Amino acid sequence: MSDFKYMKTERKGSVGVVTFNRPQAMNALNEEVAIEVTDALMAFDADDSIGCMVLAGDDKAFCAGADLKWIASQDFESAYLTDLAAYMDKVAELRKPVIAAVRGFAFGGGTEIALMCDIIIADTTARFGLPEVTLGVIPGAGGPARLTRAVGKAKAMYYILTGKNIKAEEAERIGMISHVVADGQLMEEAMAVATVIASNPRLAVLAGKEAVNQQAETPLIPGLKLERRLFHGLFSTPDQKEGMAAFAEKRKPDFRQY
């Protein structure tokens, strides 16, 4: 559990804590980070002494989304052949509950991995968002599918097509997250909830999570597959190249007018 480059892992009683540890890039996702966060949570899921997990970031960012230098280099062939963004689906398949403790930025893949978790607790500094449309693609790690199930079609459509940020209070109001706490109380609250869950009968907790997911996600998989293929395909478009180049160069994108 101590061999990760971009993750910190810690046991606190029967709670396993996984913390993003790439502060120089605001915990942005690249292939290695995506694999490590998934593997760290899977390791706790397989540990009989752990009853619940907490996934956290640092003071500035939970996870600021995909690392642009990595994601902008993709094309359709590489995205499709490697099934880009699919590995993190394993987070949503864990049997034990996972609490996302969100402070600061949780954009793009950061919002998506939070939505894979079972409970999202945020403090007042948290900012969510799926801004991929401004880069010429769509969210490809479950954002459209899971956000729609969390907040409904109208709200999901608004945030995915505009790319606008979602403040913590708004995220709570629309049902995207479980609840908001004051600045400085995030980990205390997340650990308190995780400790209660971990102290409950293990089989009942696993069954409860399975029952809720069955109702919430059926039929999730067809939507995820369609979403991912659309995501992959957009890496073949000029707008994706221009959108990501403009972001890196800190200029306004000049998208193609069809």
Q: Mind listing the domains of the chain with CATH numbers? A: 7-184 (3.90.226.10)
The helix/strand/coil state of 215 is helix
H or E element, residue 20: strand 15-20
Report residue 44 as tokens: 């706790």
Q: Is 251 exposed, middle or buried (0-12, 13-18, 19+ CB in 10 A)?
A: exposed
Give catalytic status of residue 152 as yes or no.
no
Length of the chain equals 258
Cα–Cα distance between 94 and 113 in angstroms, integer? Answer: 13
Once rounded to an integer, what is the mean pLDDT over residues 81-103? Answer: 96
Residue 218's pLDDT band, with cuts at 50, 70 and 90, is confident
pTM above 0.85, yes or no: yes
**Tens digit of pLDDT for each residue in 155-191?**
999 999 999 999 999 999 999 999 999 999 999 999 9
Strands 165-167 and 127-129: antiparallel
CA distances from 106 to 5, 9, 23, 51, 168 (A): 20, 20, 13, 25, 10
pLDDT in tens, 40-80: 999 999 999 999 999 999 999 999 999 998 999 899 999 99
Catalytic residue (choose from 34, 72, 112, 126): 112
Q: Name residue 128's beta-bridge partners.
A: 106, 166
**258, pLDDT greater than 90:** no
Is residue 51 annotated as part of the catalytic site, yes or no? no
Task: Say which of 65, 109, 136, 143 is annotated catalytic.
Answer: 109
Q: Find out whether 115 and 102 touch, Cβ atoms under 8 Å.
A: no
Of residues 64, 66, 145, 198, which has the active-site annotation? 66
- Is residue 120 within 8 Å of 100, Cβ to Cβ? yes
The lowest-confidence range among 55-59, 71-75, 84-88, 253-257 is: 253-257
Please write the tens of the pLDDT for every residue from 132-146: 999 999 999 999 999
Q: What is the pLDDT of residue 2?
A: 60
